[in-house]
Structure 1
Amino acid sequence: MKRILILFTILIAFFSTETQIFADQNVWTSETNLTKKIDRVNLVTVNGKIYSIGGHDQNKFYDTIDVYDPEIKTWTQKGKLPTVRGTVSAAVYDGKIYITGGEPINKKLDIYDTVTNEWKQGKAFPNDVAGYASQFVNGKLLVIGGFTKYTDSSDMVYEYDPSTNMWTEKARLSNPRRYTTSALVNGKVYVIGGINESKGILSSIEEYDPQTNTWTTKSPMSTPRMGLAAAVLNNEIYVIGGNTATDTISGPGTVEVEKYNPKTDTWSKVTSMPTARGFLSAVSLNNSIYVAGGSNKSIYFSVFEKYTLGDNGMSPSQPEDPGTSQPDNPVGDRVILVVTMTTGLEKEFDLSMKEVNDFIAWYDAKDAGRGASFFAIDKHNNNKGPFSSRKDYMLYDRILTFEVSEYSK
């Protein structure tokens, strides 16, 4: 009996220590500040670098594009926008950055080639727009909500096809919203928060399925916010900062961070960021989230902060956190990966945990605008015939969604 009690005590101490270690690794740290104090800046990633686009302070909007190298922690001016811009939601496709509208309010579509450092113009957006959300899905750009003047919010959604240089109207939002944010997870777009004139600041979230062209209302955030930012880690959406009062110019910012799990439609609290602010921007890169700029009661910030998951995001599962044992974190010996293509075809693979984690890492990287456009999956036991190996090459823009089921041999 004595031996059992001693062993039980040791186990408690071990797991308590492990839990504390993992908790402590989920931390915010300061990176090299932006080159100026601004809000309404926008971040995107291309080939492992972070691009800071435009921005605004109390006196003017900016036309600068700065690039951050996370390896050497330095900012370098890359080029300039065709015109000064702020309050845009840029999106990346095939190494190019697409920027629609923005403040001062306009309808231009500017496309930046990060390799040649050159700009070209696409077909103008159907209306003036700023304060919107945007995502590339299946090779097409969605521009969602926003405003055309400072006293309205839009429920309009348009899709741009780079191959035809044409805009097409899509299904409208359930709630008009401006100063909103969005994220892309498993082929679906999530639009979060914002403000409209009839309901004030919003806590609601809507999910868009591009295959059915439909919007579905999901569980809301705990705190209504506008001018907020979002980034994705391990197929979960981190919603960061924002303003909590209806004064859109000088309202108070918040340090609040919440995490949304699309599979379980649940929210959980995350460690608050160090600096309270709204009208900020965020992006995920290398298992971390980078957050830039913002303002709080007319005070502008150049701060650039990073949130990092402990143990590469593989912290021990907790009963109150339904997200830690979802398909993005396989826990069994083997995994069944089912990939649903945009054509509706399902492909099933019996893989190791490492192979599935490699696939997810590739998908997340490509979702962030970097890496190869395809991923090779070994067919293993499905290797029919006299071949040394057979591989199925998955194209990123052909994947609608995927499901992971763990099992032990």
Structure 2
Amino acid sequence: MSFIPCAFLVLLALAHRTTCLQGTWQPLASIAIAPRQEHTTLFVPPDSILLLGGITGDNATTTTNLVQQYSIRKNRWESFPPLPLALNHLNAAFMNDKIYVQRTWRSIAPVPEPRGSAAMGVYDGKVILAGGLKQIQLVSPYVQQTVDSVSIYNAAQNRWVTVPTASSTMPDPRDHACAAVINEHFYVLGGRERGQLKGKGTVLMLDLKDLRAGWTIGPVNMLTPRAGLSCGATGSKIYTFGGEGNLRVDSAVFNEMEVYDVATKTWEELGEMRVSRHGTGAVSVRGKIYVPGGGDVIGIAPVSYFDALVPS
């Protein structure tokens, strides 16, 4: 395939988007033991990336309790104590030198409304849990029960606090969204409601210093509405990767990378992922965004591929 400089692609893009990569992809050591999707990815300072739970085979019966630790410095996977239960689409966060999961190694106050695949953030000793799935069937009739509820856990008090009415529900239900906390604001991007092909494009924002103000909807939608995407934040920017529900390709998986600048409230295309994926979780560490595993076909199709984007 011949190379066409980015400057000339603008002239050729009458019906197509440009695909100029703005950054460098670095292939990393493949996920050890088994491929993985629908897991949760956490950064544990100073040097570890953890993969918790997820699906390792071609159906939901291969849900695992496996927790794996990747050393950034060594570019190597290492052992880690497993979860007490096999879980996929789990909600997990790292805060105050502890890993919090809806069902954890040490029991904490139970979540008010149990669900999976929620948008999550950590701020000021609290875990924010927004939306998610109360039920998902991967076989006919494929029932998927999406919720709009918002819960906040105070770790110091080991309790779920009362959320002001204006913030207690999202503007609309969504699951399989991605989220980031930047400058005391909680952002939820994309997601879906009741099905893989019903991706949303809105950006929701919650001021964590003023929960009584409620949710606001961003003035500009995502360039590519989608769910099952992953994102990582660095500076004022949220980088989004992949997702599922792409009707333009047989796999129905997106390879789009796009970035949202919360300061200017603008979107920009970044090009394509090296490997199209959904159902993974990205983490940002010192300006580099790590994207481990995921599925390369709509539904369940886990891969071991692991790479990181260094934005330009």
- Interval of TM-score (by shorter of Structure 1 and Structure 2): 0.7 to 0.9
The alpha-carbon deviation at position 233 of structure 1 amounts to 1.6
Determine the C-alpha separation between the residues in 1 that align with 2:110 and 2:21: 48
1:212 to 205, 210, 213: 210
What corresponds to 2:141 in structure 1?
none
DSSP-derived class of the 1:83 partner: coil
Aligned-partner residue type, residue 215 of structure 1: W
Name the counterpart of 1:173: 170
Deviation track 1:104-163 (CA, whole Å, cap 9, x = no partner) reads: xxxx3x2xxxxxxxx311111112201101111111111110011122211100011112
Specify the alignment match of 1:279 in structure 2. 279
Instruction: Encode CA deviations 1:179-204: one digit per residue, 9 max, x unaligned.
Output: 11100101111011111149931011
The within-5 A match list for 1:348-367 is none
| C-alpha distance in 1 between matches for 2:288 and 2:106 | 32
Unaligned 5+ segments in structure 2 are 1-6, 8-19, 137-143
Deviation >6 Å, runs of 4+: none
Question: Secondary structure of 1:91's partner?
Answer: strand
Partner of 2:261: 261
Aligned-pair CA distance for 1:46? 1.1
Contact 1:153 1:177 in 2 (8 A): yes
The correspondence for 2:81, drawn from 60, 79, 82, is: 79
Q: Which residue of 1 aligns with 2:289?
A: 289
Q: 2:14 maps to what in 1? A: none
TM-score by length of 1: 0.63
Please report how far the alpha carbon of residue 55 of structure 1 lies from its aligned counterpart in structure 2 after TM superposition. 1.2
Q: Per-residue deviation at 1:169?
A: 4.4
State which of 144, 157, 162 in structure 1 corresponds to 2:150.
157
2: distance between equivalents of 1:169 and 1:144? 14
1:228 is aligned to 229
Counterpart residue number, 1:351: none
- Contact 1:61–1:84 (8 Å) recurs in 2: yes
Partners of 1:95 and 1:271 lie apart in 2 by: 36
- Map 1:1-400 to 2 at 5 A: 26-35=23-32, 36-47=34-45, 48-56=47-55, 57-59=57-59, 60-100=62-102, 108=103, 110=104, 119-150=105-136, 151-170=144-163, 171=167, 172-197=169-194, 200-213=198-211, 214-218=214-218, 219-245=220-246, 252-297=252-297, 298-310=300-312
Greater relative contact order (CA < 8 Å, ≥ 6 in sequence): 2
What do residues 252-282 of structure 1 show as CA deviations (whole Å, max 9, x unaligned)?
2111111001111110011321011111110
Aligned 8 A contact 1:227 1:242 in 2: yes
Amino acid at match of 1:165: N
Q: Which amino acid aligns with 1:78?
A: F
The amino acid of 2:259's aligned partner reads: K
CA distance in 1, matches of 2:284, 2:228: 18
Aligned-pair distance for 1:283? 0.4
Q: Give identity over the alignment, percent.
A: 25
Is 1:64–1:77's contact at 8 Å kept on the other side of the alignment? Answer: no
Question: Aligned-pair distance for 1:58?
Answer: 2.0
Tell me: CA distance 1:24–1:176, structure 2 relative to 1, closer, same or farther (3 Å). closer
167-176 vs 134-143, greater mean Cα deviation: 167-176
Task: State the SS of the aligned residue for 1:120.
Answer: coil
Deviation at 1:168, TM superposition (A): 2.7
Amino acid at match of 2:52: I
**Residues 295 and 233 from structure 1, CA distance in 2 versus in 1: closer, same or farther, beyond 3 angstroms?**
same
Which residue type is aligned with residue 136 of structure 1? V
- AA matched with 2:145: D
**Which amino acid in structure 2 is aligned with residue 142 of structure 1?**
I
| Alpha-carbon distance between aligned partners in 2 of 1:268 and 1:184, rounded to the nearest angstrom | 19
| CA distance, structure 1, for counterparts of residue 44 and residue 288 of structure 2 | 15
Counterpart CA distance in 1 for 2:147 and 2:251 is: 21
Name the amino acid aligned to 2:84: P
Q: Which has the larger radius of gyration?
A: 1
Q: Which structure shows the bigger proportion of residues in helix conformation?
A: 1
TM score, norm. by length of structure 2:
0.82
Give 3-state SS (helix, strand or coil) of 1:146's partner: strand
- State how far apart, in whole Å, the 2-side matches of 1:252 and 1:24 are: 21
- Unaligned residue ranges in structure 1 (runs of 5+): 1-15, 17-22, 101-107, 111-118, 311-409
RMSD of Structure 2 on Structure 1 (CA): 2.1
> Structure 2 vs 1, CA of residues 209 and 251 (structure 1 numbering), >3 Å: closer, same or farther?
farther
Give the letter for the 1:224 counterpart.
P
Letter paired with 1:168? V
Residue identity matched to 2:206: Y
Query: Take 1:174 and 1:251, find their aligned partners in 2: how far apart are those partners?
Result: 31
